[in-house]
Structure 1
Amino acid sequence: MAKEKTGKSKKKGKPKVHEELRGFEVSIDSFGELKSNLPIEKLNKFLDENVDDKKLAERDDYQEPKKPKKKK
């Protein structure tokens, strides 16, 4: 007979994170508000530089901005 897995697999350690977001933590308080240790402006800047906006890509008048070269 094959063994059945019970419960969820638990991953140990921390997930891989972009170096600019190391130490970033977010939580939801009792009022449903997001609390973060990173200013929203810095988070938005990171997302603008590193994530493609799928909604804008579908538009005909949208031109993708040039991405800065990544540092090695």
Structure 2
Amino acid sequence: MAKKESKPTPKAKPRVHKELQGLDITIDQFGEIKANMNIDKLNEFLDKNVDDKKLAERDDYDDMKKGKKKKKK
């Protein structure tokens, strides 16, 4: 009995935030990240929308997120 041939399914594009519409990131054979968007713009978006888990334990983390400077005693 012959095996059924499976049809290749087209890759569906993942949902992304409206600020990142059209973003395409790939990793080449050398492990280098290739993106079709400016890395600085990506970093700015991540800084604004993603909490930093390592800094969340600090007492002044909320002030840093809001842009306030901590007063020195």
TM-score range, shorter chain: 0.5 to 0.7
- Aligned 1:2-41 pairs, distance under 5 A: 13-41=12-40
TM-score normalised to the size of structure 1? 0.65
Gaps of 5+ in 1: 1-9, 68-72
Residue-pair matches, total: 57
Larger mean CA deviation between 33-42 and 58-67 belongs to 58-67
Gaps of 5+ in 2: 1-8, 68-73
Pairing 1:49–2:48 present = yes
Correspondence for 2:66: 66
Report the secondary structure of 2:43's partner residue: helix
Structure showing greater Rg = 2
CA RMSD of aligned residues (A): 2.3
Give 1:65 shift: 1.8
Report the secondary structure of 1:65's partner residue: helix
Runs of 4+ in 1 over 6 A off after TM superposition: none
TM-score normalised to the size of structure 2? 0.64
Task: Give % identity.
Answer: 63
1:41/1:15 CA distance change after superposition, 3 Å: same
Give 1:36 shift: 0.3
